[in-house]
Amino acid sequence: MPFARDRRKGWAPYRVAGIGVLLGFLTGCAAQSPSILRPVSPKGRAEADLFGFILAITVFVFIVVQALLLYAVVRFRARDPQVIPPQIHGNRALEISWTTVTALGLAVIFAMTWRTMAATSTPPADALPVKVIGHQWWWEFQYPTLGITTANELVIPVGQPLRVTVTSADVIHSFWVPQLGGKMDAIPGRENVLWLQADAEGTYYGQCAELCGASHANMRLRVHAVSPEAFDRWVESQRAPAASPTEPLAQQGYQVFMSKACVGCHTINGTPAQGKVGPNLTHVGSRTTIAAGLLENTPENLARWLDNPPAIKPGSLMPRLGLTPQEIQALVAYLSSLK
């Protein structure tokens, strides 16, 4: 009986792993999950179709192999332990058959994969250029032809393809928005290109897909797909310089920002702040999140972030600045006014 208990105990990790895989699959298909199985772009659909095609082939092969295995177990089971069955070296016709079928199957998969890669690798001629730069641990988005720089939230017009150039300012990152079919390594000193397009309005979630340090899991992003008219309005607002604060508390926050270390790391267009280390904050008040998608952009979360960034994002290059509660409240008022 001790042996039986040990066997059950030995299987426990495998049962836990199996349950974890099942839950992970179900989570990946949940309504709010950024799953590759729910694409909203031509490229994403092409990749999902290829995945489904290969999955169908592998499931078919699995069923056939298991059926033949069960047949062999039942048909050729030992009926008399004393009788040794005939010993043969193989069936040449059978070996040629399964080798040929396997080779043909792999050739079909190769052809379909090549076709999908060829159809999705080259951006359309009318694609809007966007440059993505990975930082530890946030994303910088530049629209070269529009004169806009923003961070962590990429705004795109529905139905408009984007030519996305991906690179990194420090270590290797990986830009990935599952529902848009986009995944590309961000490598320092190198520019890789992919293209994206959203066919439906909505917010699509992305993540750095390459282990890049302590806060790799906190390096998130969002893609907001909006109507062309809404995108034009967004472009116009983003091109404008930062609004001058009018409220006394926000004016005080402006003075704090310009007199502290903030001014050396961040850019706010139309002000002396022209730092390039951290995200561009010209219109940070219009973003839905802060800290690279880690926190919703609310006054309470902004105050938490300003008080102690490393406590929220381990390894954050933005240090704890030792701000007083009054300075924090003033900065929150000023940054929130930057719409």
φ/ψ of 315, rounded to 5, equals: 80, 5
Q: Could you report the per-residue pLDDT of 75-128, keeping only the tens digit for each?
A: 888 777 788 877 777 788 888 988 998 999 899 999 999 999 888 888 888 899
pLDDT value, residue 9: 47
pLDDT of 30 > 60? The answer is no
Whether the CB-CB separation of 307 and 320 falls below 8 Å is answered with: yes
**pLDDT recorded at residue 14:** 42
Give the confidence band of 339 by pLDDT, cuts at 50, 70, 90. confident
Amino acid at 48: A
Q: Where are the alpha helices (DSSP H) in the chain?
A: 2-28, 42-75, 92-121, 228-239, 248-259, 262-265, 299-307, 309-312, 325-336
Q: What is the pLDDT of residue 32?
A: 55
| Distance from the Cα of residue 197 to its chain's centroid | 15
Q: Over 50: is that where the pLDDT of 15 sits? A: no
Let me know the angle formed at the C-alpha of 254 by 249 and 259, rounded to the nearest 5 degrees: 125
Each residue of 203-261: pLDDT tens digit?
A: 999 999 999 999 999 999 999 999 999 999 999 999 999 888 989 999 999 999 999 88
pLDDT score for 134: 96
What is the pTM assigned to this prediction? Answer: 0.79
- Taking each continuous run of H as one helix and of E as one strand, the counts in the chain are 9, 12
Task: State mean pLDDT over 284-309.
Answer: 92
CB distance 253 to 274 below 8 Å: no
Q: Where is pLDDT greater, at 155 or 183?
A: 155
Residue 232 C-alpha from the chain's centroid: 26
